[in-house]
Amino acid sequence: MTLKGNFDSFYIATILQLLSNDRKTGILRITDGDKEIQVFLKEGTIIYAMGSNSKDQLGYLLKTNGRISEEQLQECLRISKEKKQALGKVLVEKQLITMAELKKFIQKQAENVVFNLFSWDQGDFEYKDTKLSLKGLQIVRLNPMQVVLEATRRIDEMSTLKKLIPNDRIIFRLSGKTENKEEIVLNEDEWRLLSLLDGSRNVRQIIIESGYDDFQVYKILYSLVLSGRIEKSMAISPQARAEAALVQIDDVDSKMLREGLDSLGLPRSSAVRHALTRIFRDCVGTDELLNTVVQEAEKLNGPEDQSLITTLKEENKIPFMHDIIHLLWEKTEPS
């Protein structure tokens, strides 16, 4: 049996229910761009799941939960590669974790992978009946029906959380105050997230670096905001600023760009003008835009260029150039 097509978060629940009811054995592969999740089923039960995101991997999960250090992880990864052994087996043999801990974290890893799948807005799926080969892997047992029920509960709760945290580009900072001016007792998870709130990381970066899944981070941040412990920062992440810049220049053609640069008083020979022109030319996506900004900023290391960019940031009256100039200023401003 083979199934394939597009899905949304609710349709994936239907797919899992179908595979469970028919007691299928095979692999469900879900992709969205460079993201990929594979769910292994045996007789309708989820027995393994893995994702392309690094935070879904066992080693990352163990490290972010304080069970192993970065040095221990890298050493075990090296041994795992040399001996062609599963990372979990190496960790147990070196007595860094117990077999019971390994099973617990593999279970958690699989749950994180599958639950995060329900936060995807879009994607393609393909299921194929196949004989599974999981030699050397620790399998889990997740009932697809229970997964769907828990995922549905999380989706409902996330709708409430997102009223306060509408997107993952928001940056939070410590507020310096507590509710009713009383000391707040924080749990270990809250302390871990607080340690990552440096005024520059956005919610998505916190999710990646904490090792927690989206739902956990949103829930903890929601609690910290309500308690008055943290607040939204006025700072805008480079990713969010790049996305805004792409929207601003959507209808800007080469003539409008030339007129805009002329209105800023930039001569045709200006290095800053050339940098802005190349950045506009490469504005095909947020990653490309940010990479080009970094490359152009490296060429503008003189004090005159830096002073000019600072002036442009403060005095610019051209709306479609606002965020691009700000991005360039952030990369050229002396530390």
Q: Is the pLDDT of residue 108 over 70?
A: yes
| Measured CA angle at 265 (ends 262, 270), to 5 deg | 90
Instruction: Read off the pLDDT of each residue in 151-169 and give the average, rounded to a whole number.
Output: 85
Share of the chain above pLDDT 90, in %: 19
d(CA 128, CA 29): 9
Span 130-141, pLDDT tens digits: 988 777 667 888
In terms of Cβ atoms closer than 10 Å to its own Cβ (0-12, 13-18, 19+), residue 125 is buried
Q: How far is CA 258 from CA 87, 268, 310, in A?
A: 56, 9, 20
pLDDT for residue 22? 93
DSSP H helical segments within 165-265, as ranges? 188-194, 203-210, 214-226, 238-248, 254-263
| Contact between 94 and 76 (Cβ < 8 Å) | yes
pLDDT band with cut points at 50, 70 and 90 for residue 128: very high
pLDDT for residue 181? 43
pLDDT for residue 234? 64
188 alpha carbon, distance to own chain's centre:
22
| Contact between 203 and 168 (Cβ < 8 Å) | yes
- Token pair 């707040």 in the structure block, residue: 184
Q: Is 41 helix (H, G, I), strand (E, B) or coil?
A: strand
What are the beta bridge partners of residue 40?
A: 27, 48
pLDDT for residue 198? 78
d(CA 143, CA 1): 21
Through-space distance between the first and last CA atoms of the chain, rounded to whole angstroms: 59
d(CA 30, CA 104): 25
Span 8-58, pLDDT tens digits: 766 888 889 899 999 999 999 999 887 889 999 999 999 988 887 655 578
pLDDT for residue 120? 79
**Domain edges within the chain:** 2-67+100-151, 165-232, 238-332
| Contact between 118 and 2 (Cβ < 8 Å) | no
Say which residues have a Cβ less than 8 Å from residue 87's Cβ, sequence separation at least 6.
Answer: 58, 59, 76, 77, 80
| Contact between 192 and 186 (Cβ < 8 Å) | no
Q: How many CB atoms lie within 10 A of CB 230?
A: 21
What are the beta bridge partners of residue 2?
A: 128
- Token pair 């007595």 in the structure block, residue: 95
Q: Is the pLDDT of residue 218 over 90?
A: yes
pLDDT for residue 65? 77
pLDDT for residue 235? 66
Span 219-267, pLDDT tens digits: 999 999 888 888 887 667 788 788 878 877 877 888 888 888 888 888 8
d(CA 293, CA 209): 24
Which of these ranges, 19-33, 87-101, 180-194, has the smallest mean pLDDT? 180-194
Q: What is the pTM of this model?
A: 0.58
pLDDT averaged over every residue in the chain = 84
Question: How many residues are recorded in the chain?
Answer: 335
Say which residues have a Cβ less than 8 Å from residue 97's Cβ, sequence separation at least 6.
Answer: 62, 67, 68, 91, 105
pLDDT for residue 168? 80
- Token pair 């999740």 in the structure block, residue: 37
